[in-house]
Amino acid sequence: MVSTHPTGVQHSSRQYLPITSTQNNLLSPNQQILPLTAKVNSSDCLEIGGCDVTTLVQQFGTPLYILDESGLRTACRQYRDSFKRYYLGESQVLYASKAWSCLAICAIAHSEGLGIDVASGGELYTALQSGASPSKIYLHSNNKSREELIFAIESGCTIVVDNWHELDMLVTIAQGRGQGSSPFRIMLRLTPGIECHTHEYIRTGQIDSKFGFDPNQLDELFTFVSKQSAINCVGLHAHIGSQIFERQPHQDLAALMMQWLTKAATYGIEIAELNVGGGLGITYTESDDPPSIEEWVKPICEVIQSACAKQNLPLPKLLCEPGRSLIANSCVTAYTMGSSKVVPDIRTYVAVDGGMSDNPRPITYESVYRTVVANRMSDPLTETVTIAGKHCESGDILIKNAQLPKTEPGDILVVMATGAYNYSMASNYNRLPRSAAVLVTNGEANLILQRETYQDLIRQDCLPERLK
C-alpha cells in the first residue's frame, strides 16, 4: 500500500522516496521534503544534483551539508517571478541570510536578482564580499553597535532601525558627518501586534517582542523622524515570525502597513518602500502543509494594490525577506551511523557522528525532521529507532521514533530540510569541528565551506606565558 503526500514524497513500507517529476521547476521547493533534484540511482543510493550521496561522503566526509543549487535557484526565481506576476509596482526580494550566510549562497541569491537581508556586521561583510550590491542590502538587528551602523552607512546599504536607542545613535552619527554629507537611507521597524501559530521563540510580530517600535508611539516616532534632515526614511518594515502556514496574518500585516504608510504621510514622510518580512513555512514532515511561494505572494500583492487604489496612492516598492523557504528544503545533512543501544521495552538508540553542534534546532525548538538511509533506499522499514548525536548531552537527540531499514555502523543517514538555521547556528560544542558543505549541480560537487580542523579550534586560544 503506497500513498502519495502532496509534497510528492511517497510513504509506504519503504523509505521516503524522492520525487520523480520531470516538472521540478514547477514545484514549490518549500513544499518538498527532499531537494528537487533528489532521486534513487541504479545503485539504490540517494542522488542529489546528479551526485551520489555515498560518493560525496567518501570524498568530503561527514557530517556533510549537501546543497542542491537547482532547488535554491528555483526558489529564488519563484519568489522573484511571483512578485513580477502579481504586483504592478516595483518589487525586491531579499534573501534573509541569517538562515545561512556564506559567500556562495549570497552570490547565488545575488545572481538571481535578489538583495540580501543581514542581521550583523559579519553578515553584512559576507554579503559585500560575495559581490552583492550595497543598494540591495538591508541591515537588521535589535541592538546594532555604533561600529555596525557606521559600517552600514559607509557601505551604502539601508538600515532598518529597530528602536529609539538606535535612532538616537544614528542622529548623533549623522551630525558628526558634517554638512554636505548625503542623507543615509533608513526604514523603521514596527511591531504589528499580529500573532500566528508557531513556536514562541520564532514569533516576532506580537506586541510582547524585543523587535521594533511600539505602534502606540507612531505619532512621537514620525514627528521625530520628520525633523531629521540627515536621515532619509524611505520605508517601513514589519515581520510576524517564522515557519508560518497561515496566509491571513500576512494579509492582515499588509493592510496594517498601508495604514502606517498613510499616517506617515500626514507628517511629511514619504514612504516609498514597504517590507512585509518573510516567514513562509516549509515541509519538514508529511503533516506539514505550507502554502506554495506563489500562494504566499499573490494575496499580499492584492492587499497592497487594493489599498492604494482605494486611497488613490502610488504603489510603494514592495519588499519581502524569505530565508527558510528559500533554502531549507534544498539541503540535507549526511551522517555516518555508529554505535547503538537497546533499552528493552523502551527504545533503541542509534548514534551518528554529529548532532546538536551541526543541527541545534531539535534541542532548541523541539523541531521534527525526516530521514533516510542513503545507501539502502529500497530496503523495507523494519526498525523504529531514536537518532542520537555524539555530544555529551542527554538532550542531543536529532529524531525520535525514526522509521528505518535494518542498519549497521557505517551506513549513511541523511536528514532532510537542513538548509536553514543549521550551519548558521552551528557550534563547536565538545570542540567538534564544524562540518563541511558542498554545492551540487549537474553531477558536479563544489566545496563551499571547508571542514574545520583541530587546529582551527585552537586558532583563537591564548595561552599565557606563565601557564606554558
Residue 246: pLDDT band by 50, 70, 90 thresholds?
Answer: confident
**pLDDT score recorded for residue 245:** 82
**The most confident of 24-28, 56-60, 259-263, 305-309, by mean pLDDT:** 56-60
Task: Check: CB of residue 66 under 8 Å from CB of residue 332.
Answer: yes
Residue 254 pLDDT more than 90? no
What size, in residues, is the chain? 468
Tell me the per-residue pLDDT of 63-86, one tens digit each, with 9 for 90 and over. 999 999 999 999 999 999 999 999
380 assigned to a ligand binding site? no
pLDDT on residue 37: 97
pLDDT exceeds cutoff 60 at 197: no
Query: What pLDDT sits at residue 369?
Result: 97
Distance CA 100, CA 302 (A): 30
pLDDT at 193: 77
Say if strands 397-404 and 10-11 run parallel, antiparallel, or are unpaired. Answer: unpaired
Check the annotation: does 347 bind a ligand: no
Note the pLDDT of residue 14.
64
Question: What does the pLDDT read at residue 240?
Answer: 86
> DSSP for 74-115?
HHHHHHHHHHHHH-SS-EEEEEEGGGS--HHHHHHHHHTT-E
Task: Tell me the pLDDT band of 176, cut-offs 50, 70 and 90.
Answer: confident
| Predicted confidence band of residue 178 (pLDDT cuts 50, 70, 90) | confident
- In the predicted structure, residue 302 carries a pLDDT above the cut 50: yes
**Residue 332, amino acid:** V
* pLDDT the model gives residue 32: 95
Does the pLDDT at position 247 exceed 80?
no
CATH architecture observed for domain 70-326: Alpha-Beta Barrel (3.20)
Spatial neighbors of 101 by CB under 8 A, at least 6 apart, are 118, 122, 123, 126, 127, 424
The two domains 3-68+328-456 and 70-326 share their CATH topology (first three levels equal): no
Does the annotation flag 268 for ligand binding?
no
Q: What is the mean pLDDT of residues 100-106?
A: 98
Among residues 329, 233, 227, 348, the alpha carbon closest in space to that of 281 is found at 329
Q: Where are the alpha helices (DSSP H) in 145-289?
A: 146-155, 164-176, 218-226, 248-265
Which sequence spans correspond to the domains of the chain?
3-68+328-456, 70-326
In single-letter form, the type of residue at position 170 comes to: L
38-69: per-residue pLDDT in tens? 999 999 999 999 999 999 999 999 999 999 99
Q: Is the pLDDT of residue 342 over 70?
A: yes
pLDDT for the residue numbered 211: 80
pLDDT at 13: 60
Cα Rg, the chain, nearest whole Å: 24
Q: How confident is the model at residue 326 (pLDDT cuts 50, 70, 90)?
A: very high
What are residue 66's DSSP bridge partners? 332, 438
Question: What does the pLDDT average to over 267-294?
Answer: 94
- Alpha carbon distance 141, 289 (integer Å): 30
172, with CB counted inside 10 A (0-12, 13-18, 19+), is: exposed
Grid coordinates representing 329 are 528544503
| pLDDT at 200 > cutoff 50 | no
85: Cβ contacts below 8 Å, ≥ 6 apart: 294
Q: Which residues are catalytic?
A: 392
Q: Map residue 53 onto helix, strand or coil.
A: helix
How confident is the model over 101-107, as a mean pLDDT? 98
Is 16 within any annotated ligand binding site?
Answer: no
Short-list 252, 234, 233, CA closest to 244: 252
CB of 324 within 8 A of CB of 421? yes
Does the annotation place 393 within a ligand binding site? yes
146 close to 169: Cβ distance less than 8 angstroms: yes
Residue 322 known to bind ligand: yes
- Asked if residue 89 belongs to a known ligand binding site, the reply is no
> Helices in 112-247 by DSSP H: which ranges?
121-129, 146-155, 164-176, 218-226
- Residue 399 pLDDT greater than 70, yes or no: yes
Quick one: CATH architecture of 3-68+328-456? Beta Barrel (2.40)
